[in-house]
Amino acid sequence: MALAPPAVTAQPPGLEPAPLLLPSNLRLTPEQFEQVCQANPQAVLELTADGLLIVMTPTGGETGSRNSRLLIQLGLALTRGQPSLRIFDSSTGFLLPDGSVLSPDAALVLEERWQGLSPEQRRRFPPLCPDLVVELVSPSDAGPRGITDLRRKMDLYQANGARLGWLLLPQERAVEIWRGGQQGMAERLENANRLDGSELAEGLALDLEDIWVV
């Protein structure tokens, strides 16, 4: 005899899950932000220096695929002879000196700086700015993944000590290179097919043709 499926119990009116609304003037400390992230592991969040939450939207398929190929290339570059660098993906939040917590699409940190952190600091948001940050612009300029907001982030990385920043613009096949000590100024490469990072580590490079392809 076939078993009947279990009855579906309707949720009482008034108990439906509702979106979380936060007051626009809410300010969080980095410690409070960490608690919010732990309570909402499915959310992708960042924190500004003045304590405002930034809710990141999920990427589309093209951007997600490009992010994956970006990480693979960086990983291969390190395998070929750069054990002095450690790679991090977009799920890592870095606690920057100004108190903000930002998550670049990819980041490299010198191994000696990573080893200088305590085990507790490594488990939490690492309290440092990466040596290299990479951000990938989405097709739309709207929101936190658009070029306008990402240029602001590149400025923040520079101000907090990043030695090198790469802002990749797949729709234009262009790259903006941000260097430490040159806040607000970026070198732009048009129709770029290769990106050289030897100023940070010998042999570090990206094949951009692999990133641009859909």
163-206 per-position pLDDT tens digit: 999 999 999 999 999 998 776 678 999 999 999 998 888 888 89
The predicted structure's pLDDT at residue 136: 92
Residue 127 reports pLDDT greater than 90: yes
**What are the boundaries of each domain within the chain?**
61-212
Residue 121, CA distances (Å) to 128, 164, 200, 209 in order: 10, 23, 24, 37
Residue 115 reports pLDDT greater than 60: yes
CB atoms within 10 A of CB 147: 17
Q: What global pTM score does this model have?
A: 0.82
- For residues 34-61, average pLDDT: 84
Decide: 91 and 64 in contact? Cβ < 8 Å.
no
Q: Amino acid identity of 105? A: D
75, containing H or E segment: helix 61-79
Distance from the Cα of residue 83 to its chain's centroid: 22
3-class SS of residue 174:
strand
Residue 131 reports pLDDT greater than 90: yes
The predicted structure's pLDDT at residue 77: 81
The predicted structure's pLDDT at residue 22: 67
Q: DSSP state, 12?
A: P
Which of 10-19, 88-97, 134-143 holds the top average pLDDT?
A: 88-97
CATH code at 61-212? 3.90.1570.10
Alpha-helical (H) ranges within 53-207 are 61-79, 111-115, 119-123, 147-159
